[in-house]
Amino acid sequence: MDISTLLAVIAIMIAVAYMFGRGRSMAMADSSQSGYRNLNSLPFYYGMLTALWCAVPCVLIVMGWLLFDDAIIDSLVIAQLPEAVRNLSSDELGLVMNSISNIALGNVIGAEPEPYLLAAAETLISVRHTSQLALTGSVLTVGIALTLFAWSRIRPEQKARVQVEGAFKSILLVCACVAIVTTLGIVFSVIFESLRFFESVPVSEFLFGTHWSPQMSMRADQVGGTGAFGAVPLFVGTLLISAIALVIAVPCGLMAAIYLSEYASTRVRTYVKPMLEILAGVPTVVYGFFAALTVAPFIRDLGATVGLSVSSESALAAGLVMGVMIIPFVSSLSDDVISAVPQSLRDGSLALGSTQSETIKQVVLPAALPGIVGSVLLAASRAIGETMIVVMAAGLAARLTANPLESVTTVTVQIVTLLVGDQEFNSPKTLSAFALGLMLFIVTLVLNYFALYVVKKYREQYD
Amino acid sequence: MTNPTRQNGSQTTSPTSNPHVSDKPVSNKPSTIELVNKNLAKRYRAEKRFRAYGIASVGFGLLCLCLLFTDIIGKGHSAFLQTYVQLDVHLDSQRLDINDITDVNQLAQADYQGVLKQALRTRFGDVKKRGDKRKLYKLVSNGAGYELRKLLEENPALLGTTQTLWVLVDDDIDTYVKSRGSLSDSPGEDTFTGRLSEKQIGWVESLIGEDKIEKQFNSHFFMVGDSREPELAGIRGAIMGSLYTMLVTLALSFPIGVAAAIYLEKYAKKNALTEFIEVNINNLAAVPSIIYGLLGLAIFINFFELPRSIPLLGGLVLTLMTLPTIIISSRAAIKAVPPSIEEAAMGIGASKMQVILHHILPLAMPGMLTGAILGMAQALGETAPLLMIGMVAFIVDVPGGIADPATVLPVQIFLWSDSPERAFVEKTSAAIMVLLGFLIVMNTLAVWLRKRLERRW
């Protein structure tokens, strides 16, 4: 039975269990004199209780099985391979396993495969078959047995409602904990791989080295392939592009927020604000395309007419477009904090004879400053973590320069180029991407935490 | 925040105290009102300037929006038309090597391209040299033969007859025809010739002169998957891939997100665990999306050994990414339900679960759905994490389920934008237009839902 049929069967089993439980409670109620009032809970709860007894273990079994069956099947097949093949390195063994599963699927290309491969493919097919059967069998047995168990326990005085509500709360709690699990997953995945990276490359070289060229040689005598993992050019490139973006986005977003919240009429505001926010809703890959095909050639041609040589993958183009993308982040967050400044402060200043702009500059903005700082920090974290625009519009060569007309590369670009396509998991080249990811995670986390802290502290003052 | 007000106070106290000073007849000192008036014009100018900066900023944002959209539409609108050339094709059974039309194998292996070449040779009888012939064959697309095969499969009686057919042209010709402007005029100055030779242009122009070249609606674009040939490439594979990925994301993130929101709003006590969950959700909402790609690669692919490139995996990663958004908006929706409703239900004996399932959840549902749609819109446009988990593979087949290798729309856009052929530029822009179309529909739906269903208490 394949997975979708199995899930359908489980769903039917749950529905049947619900009806059984409900029916039994009602039958018990009918047999007594006082009817339903004899029951501790509504029949619904007895049905739900039986259904939960059936559903929770079945779903857990299926999930566990799906997660771990591949690994177990693989180890069974490997155990059956000839001694010589089993002792191969893990990469080569992976290749062998790949060809075995291809044979099992019936995709034989080229010459007739070796007999041990054919035998292994046979084993693979039979083990998979057994695994499917075992899964179906265990799910059906456990589901039916537990349904019967729960069904047989139903008594009028059983506190079904309390139990069901308890289970409901636990399920909700498990869902809420997904957020914690995700964070842990992120932290562990980047930290473990980074630690493996730092075994071969010292942390100090990674953080302070100024030469980045992650190509590793396949053979020892190959030319130019020792690999250098000094990430400083990447950090500088990221900072350069983010700085250009912020130079565009912060004044523009802030002034737009001020205009929309202090000057614009309600009608203008209702139309213009959502339109500006469209800028934030456009997918980044679209900005990347725009930057690479329209803005970058435009800037290059503009530079050529003035007599400057501009790279066609200049940091300026990527930063400019990224700045446009971030404008709505700055403006909507700043708008919120500016609107939160009490009207009495403005009224006081205006009553003393200052003009509107003087009120804004000397009263409103200082009062809203922490919130604005928070929004700028959030925008900076956005800019640092932004991927698609720089992948498509910025360069690949790691150059240590502060010239916005030259091509630079960023942390995110390197992560993408190192990890897209096939990769082996024990070369420092691949692992360095996780080290870069760790840096990115830490930096954005600190920026976000600090921004939220500043904003929160500010909010408490007026609430 | 007493600082700015105090500053302001100290500034304004000096003018108010000045009149007492200026009561004394001091001739050479200007009065306060004179000082104020003298500065007034300057202050008004500053006011106007400040306001102009604001208008300029808003204008800059809107200008960029307009530029972006006109640029994309200007580049992409032509992809919805495709150039075809009319040829008299003789479906010669010998040349096709078909003697039994019912034999599927023969139909599959027949030399359709050869028949098209023959048709081109007949049309341009004066082309004799081998090199020229090769150039001539490049007028029609490599994939034009599939159309002939479909034609023969549908109507076997056509074998051996001569048909006047509209045949798909090569992408270079397509680009040329589209860039030369209206078909009734002679080619304009800025016509893009690209790799075409003088002779090929001459042939195309002669065909145009005979009205044998036409631009038709490009239904092909919406019917097929990816291809290396721009004129054969379509977005159906990517759209289906996006659809399956979104289904997985929605099926996982909406229930989990709503459940987590209910727990945090209605059950959670103020303790360390709750605090920790909240901190985590807030931080996850701002983690760069590429980090989720690293998570998917290290945990789902390396640890659990899920296959790469499948919508199920993409959906899992995007679920983790959109969960914080959905939890935050669902909490806001639950908070907006007035406590009086909860208290009333409790008062007549409903249990906590009944209050939530019967009252709070239905009332908060429009707000939650709005949040979910916005989260889905964000997930639909997301590219970076999917690059990490192998959804960048070149996949021709249209996926048929959540376990088939697939790519998604934004990744397809990324792949095409990397292609060197010029004809892919318009395809990319057209794919962007389709993607933006979906996003606009989803966002409009969210706004409509909010306006229509959300109740204000």
Q: How far is A358 from chain B (nearest CA, A)?
A: 8
Of B240, B152, B358, the closest CA to residue A42 belongs to B358
Q: Collect all residues of chain A within an 8 Å Cβ-Cβ radius of residue B256.
A: 175, 178
Residue in A with minimal Cα distance to B5:
A363
CA gap A296, A65 in Å, rounded? 51
Of B98, B94, B93, the closest CA to residue B109 belongs to B98
In this predicted structure, what is the pLDDT of residue B16? 45
Rg of chain B in Å (alpha carbons): 33
Q: Are residues A121 and A270 in the same domain?
A: no
How far is CA A114 from each of CA A259, B212, B306, rounded to the nearest angstrom? 75, 57, 27
Decide if B206 touches A, using CB distance below 8 A.
no
Rg of chain A in Å (alpha carbons): 31
Residues 54-113 of B with CB under 8 A from A: 54-58, 60-62, 64-65, 68, 71-72, 75
What stretch of H or E contains B188? none
Q: Would you call B298 and A192 a contact, using CB atoms and an 8 Å cutoff?
A: yes
Decide if B351 touches A, using CB distance below 8 A.
yes
Confirm whether A271 is domain-assigned: yes
CATH code: domain of residue A238: 1.10.3720.10
In this predicted structure, what is the pLDDT of residue B12? 42
**B8-34: string of b/e by CB count within 10 Å (b at 16+)?**
beeebeeeeebeeeeeeeeeeeeebee
Decide if B292 touches A, using CB distance below 8 A.
yes
Q: How far is A295 from chain B (nearest CA, A)?
A: 10
8 Å CB contact between A294 and A361 = no
Number of other residues whose CB lies within 10 A of the CB of residue B96: 24
Q: Collect all residues of chain B within an 8 Å Cβ-Cβ radius of residue A441.
A: 287-288, 291
| Range of weakest confidence among A148-162, A344-358, B368-382 | A148-162
In this predicted structure, what is the pLDDT of residue B92? 80
How far is CA B334 from each of CA A240, B359, B388, rounded to the nearest angstrom? 42, 11, 35
What stretch of H or E contains B194? none
Q: Would you call A441 and B298 a contact, using CB atoms and an 8 Å cutoff?
A: no
CA gap B317, B311 in Å, rounded? 10
CA gap A346, A364 in Å, rounded? 7
Confirm whether A190 is domain-assigned: no
Q: Collect all residues of chain B within an 8 Å Cβ-Cβ radius of residue A328.
A: 61
Q: Collect all residues of chain B within an 8 Å Cβ-Cβ radius of residue A176.
A: 259-260, 263-264, 268, 277
Q: Are residues A142 and A282 in the same domain?
A: no
Give tens-digit pLDDT for A369-427: 888 998 999 999 999 999 999 999 988 888 888 888 888 899 999 999 888 866 666 67
Q: Would you call B5 and A348 a contact, using CB atoms and an 8 Å cutoff?
A: yes
pLDDT of A223 higher than 70:
no
Q: Would you call B259 and A176 a contact, using CB atoms and an 8 Å cutoff?
A: yes
Q: Are residues A298 and A381 in the same domain?
A: yes
Decide if B10 touches A, using CB distance below 8 A.
no
Averaged pLDDT, A42-64: 90
8 Å CB contact between B237 and B406 = yes
Residue in A with minimal Cα distance to B299:
A189
Which residue among A287, A331, A362 places its CB closest to the CB of B4?
A362
Phi-psi region at B160: left, alpha or beta (left = phi > 0; alpha = psi -120 to 50): left
CA gap B106, A446 in Å, rounded? 66
In this predicted structure, what is the pLDDT of residue B215? 86
Q: How confident is the model at residue A111 (pLDDT cuts 50, 70, 90)?
A: low
Residue A92, φ and ψ in degrees, nearest 5: -70, -35
Query: Which structural domain range is residue A444 located in?
Result: 228-462
Confirm whether A8 is domain-assigned: yes
**B365-397: string of b/e by CB count within 10 Å (b at 16+)?**
bbbbbbbbbbbbbbbbbbbbbbbbbbbbeebee
Decide if B443 touches A, using CB distance below 8 A.
yes
Third-level CATH fold of B236-453: MetI-like fold (1.10.3720)
SS3 B217: strand
For chain B, what are the domain ranges?
80-218, 236-453
CA gap A5, A142 in Å, rounded? 17
How far is CA B50 from each of CA A343, A358, A375, B85, B202, rounded to the nearest angstrom? 20, 9, 21, 60, 60
8 Å CB contact between B399 and B244 = yes
Type of residue at B454: E
Last residue of a domain, one of A157, A183, A209: A157
Q: Are residues A277 and A141 in the same domain?
A: no
Q: How far is A186 from chain B (nearest CA, A)?
A: 5
Four-residue CA torsion sign, B250, B251, B252, B256: positive
Number of other residues whose CB lies within 10 A of the CB of residue B4: 20
Averaged pLDDT, A55-70: 86
Scan for tokens 């725009």, then name that residue: A290
pLDDT of A225 higher than 80:
no
| Residue from B353, B355, B361, B378 whose CB has the most chain A CBs within 10 Å, to mutate | B353
> First CA to last CA across chain B, in angstroms?
33
Residue in A with minimal Cα distance to B16:
A352
Q: Are residues A115 and A256 in the same domain?
A: no
Q: Would you call A256 and B57 a contact, using CB atoms and an 8 Å cutoff?
A: yes
Decide if B160 touches A, using CB distance below 8 A.
no
- Interacting residues of A452 by C-beta distance below 8 A, sequence separation 6+: A374, B282
Type of residue at A161: R
Scan for tokens 């992120």, then name that residue: A186
Confirm whether A192 is domain-assigned: no
8 Å CB contact between A402 and A374 = no
In this predicted structure, what is the pLDDT of residue A459? 65
Q: Would you call A367 and B280 a contact, using CB atoms and an 8 Å cutoff?
A: no
Give tens-digit pLDDT for A66-86: 777 777 887 888 887 777 777
8 Å CB contact between B408 and B386 = yes
Q: How confident is the model at residue A142 (pLDDT cuts 50, 70, 90)?
A: very high
Q: Would you call B65 and A276 a contact, using CB atoms and an 8 Å cutoff?
A: yes
Confirm whether A188 is domain-assigned: no
Q: Would you call B4 and A281 a contact, using CB atoms and an 8 Å cutoff?
A: no
Here the tokens at position B169 are 């042209």
| Residue from A41, A77, A183 whose CB has the most chain B CBs within 10 Å, to mutate | A183
Q: How confident is the model at residue A217 (pLDDT cuts 50, 70, 90)?
A: low
Q: Collect all residues of chain B within an 8 Å Cβ-Cβ radius of residue A179.
A: 260, 277, 280-281, 284, 323-324, 327
8 Å CB contact between B442 and B284 = no
CA gap B138, B173 in Å, rounded? 9
The pTM score is 0.86
Q: How confident is the model at residue A460 (pLDDT cuts 50, 70, 90)?
A: low
The total of structural domains in chain A comes to 2
Q: Are residues A153 and A232 in the same domain?
A: no
In this predicted structure, what is the pLDDT of residue B376? 94
8 Å CB contact between B368 and B330 = yes
In this predicted structure, what is the pLDDT of residue B3? 45
Q: How far is A246 from chain B (nearest CA, A)?
A: 14
More confident residue, B31 or A222: B31
CA gap B47, B58 in Å, rounded? 17
Q: Would you call A348 and B291 a contact, using CB atoms and an 8 Å cutoff?
A: no
Scan for tokens 């404008």, then name that residue: A327
Burial of A18 (0-12, 13-18, 19+ CB in 10 A): buried
Q: What is the DSSP letter of B165?
A: E
Confirm whether A217 is domain-assigned: no
Q: Would you call A179 and B1 a contact, using CB atoms and an 8 Å cutoff?
A: no
Residue in B with minimal Cα distance to A322:
B64
Q: Collect all residues of chain B within an 8 Å Cβ-Cβ radius of residue A286.
A: 68, 72, 381, 413, 432, 435-436
Give pLDDT tens digits along chain B (457 positions).
Answer: 344 444 444 444 444 444 444 455 556 778 888 888 888 889 999 999 999 999 999 999 999 999 999 999 998 888 888 888 888 888 887 777 777 777 777 777 778 888 888 888 888 888 888 888 888 888 888 888 888 888 888 888 887 788 888 888 888 888 888 887 777 777 766 777 777 888 888 888 888 888 888 888 888 888 888 888 888 888 999 999 999 999 999 999 999 999 999 999 999 888 888 888 888 888 888 899 999 999 998 888 888 777 888 899 999 999 999 999 999 999 999 998 999 999 999 999 899 999 999 999 999 998 899 899 999 999 999 999 999 888 888 888 888 888 888 999 999 999 999 888 888 898 999 999 999 999 999 998 988 888 877 676 6
CA gap A86, B90 in Å, rounded? 60
Which residue among A259, A288, A437 places its CB closest to the CB of B58?
A259
Q: Are residues A275 and A409 in the same domain?
A: yes
Here the tokens at position B258 are 């709503």
Q: Would you call A176 and B264 a contact, using CB atoms and an 8 Å cutoff?
A: yes
Which residue among A286, A328, A354 places its CB closest to the CB of B432?
A286
Q: Would you call B377 and A434 a contact, using CB atoms and an 8 Å cutoff?
A: no
Q: Would you call A161 and B351 a contact, using CB atoms and an 8 Å cutoff?
A: yes
8 Å CB contact between B96 and B119 = no
Which residue among B5, B53, B425 places its CB closest to the CB of A255?
B53
Q: Would you call A387 and B287 a contact, using CB atoms and an 8 Å cutoff?
A: no
8 Å CB contact between A363 and A345 = yes
CA gap A120, A98 in Å, rounded? 11
Confirm whether A174 is domain-assigned: no
pLDDT of A138 higher than 50:
yes
Residue B165, φ and ψ in degrees, nearest 5: -125, 150
- Interacting residues of A49 by C-beta distance below 8 A, sequence separation 6+: A21, A150, A154, A160, A163, A164, A167
Q: Are residues A242 and A149 in the same domain?
A: no
Beta bridge partners of B81: B217
pLDDT of A454 higher than 70:
yes
In B29-152 the beta strands, taken as DSSP E runs, fall at 81-90
pLDDT of A179 higher than 90:
no
Of B241, B276, B84, the closest CA to residue B169 belongs to B84
Confirm whether A172 is domain-assigned: no
SS3 A41: coil
Which residue among B68, B283, B290 places its CB closest to the CB of A387?
B290
Which residue among A281, A362, A452 places its CB closest to the CB of B7?
A362
Q: Would you call A387 and B413 a contact, using CB atoms and an 8 Å cutoff?
A: no
**A427-459: string of b/e by CB count within 10 Å (b at 16+)?**
bbbbbbbbbbbbbbbebbbebbbebbebbeebe
| Residue from B3, B8, B318, B323 whose CB has the most chain A CBs within 10 Å, to mutate | B8
Q: How confident is the model at residue A222 (pLDDT cuts 50, 70, 90)?
A: low
